[in-house]
Copies of this chain bind each other. A is one copy, B any other.
Amino acid sequence: MPEVRLSPTSYVVLGMIALRGPSTPYDLKRGVKHSVGYFWNFPHAQLYSEPDRLAALGLLALSTEDSGRRRKTYSLTEDGRAALRSWLASPTDEHFEMRDIAELKLFFNEAGEPENITALAHDQIRQHEKRIEVYEAMVARFGDDESVRPRMLTLELGLEMEYAALRFWTALAGGDLGVLQESRREGIGVRARS
């Protein structure tokens, strides 16, 4: 098995194919869009080029339609499945990255007008509420479908994060951040560490 460092994109492709079965890049694009794509954006061009790289490494097998559109369908090889499984079983030492433009603006707003913050907070509140609605609709729609249950786990994490952000921006807009510290002290966080 070739010794190459695979990127997150690689594993998304391998993982998607593992969950969905043999797929075309377009399938991947759509699959990603309404699952992991919600929290991590993978530009579609990548999902077209990455499978070729993985195929060159022997992790995917390629079969090309011979009818009109000549679609390429990729499937997992044994090596591919092994690579995915070993990644899934290996520890993760990196901390998540947050890439939040709003947080950036908040941080640098010392150089701007105080009222920017109010506007920013209200925008953020709207956005997170909207996203929460989307997630909760998904939970309501698929929540008790046993077959996709495992995939709902990440949705729970997403919801936790959304509510956390919503709490923060709401408190900020209300001018009372103290309430956050209090509620954290009472919360499970403290319990988990004691």
Contact = CB atoms under 8 A, between A and B. Distances in A.
Contact of A96 (B151, B165, B187, B188): B165
Contact of A89 (B104, B113, B172, B188): B113
A113 B150 CA distance: 12
B123 A108 contact: no
A129 B190 CA distance: 10
Stoichiometry, copies per complex: 2
A39 B98 CA distance: 5
B170 A8 contact: no
A112 to B, nearest CB: 3
A103 to B, nearest CB: 5
The A interface is mostly helix, strand or loop, or mixed, namely helix
Nearest to A150: B110
Contacts of A64: none
A142 to B, nearest CB: 14
A189 B160 contact: no
A40 B106 contact: no
Contacts of A116: 88-89
A92 B67 CA distance: 46
A164 to B, nearest CB: 4
Given A87-B105, A163-B184, 7 more contacts: A15-B104, A88-B108, A89-B113, A110-B150, A129-B193, A167-B187, A179-B188
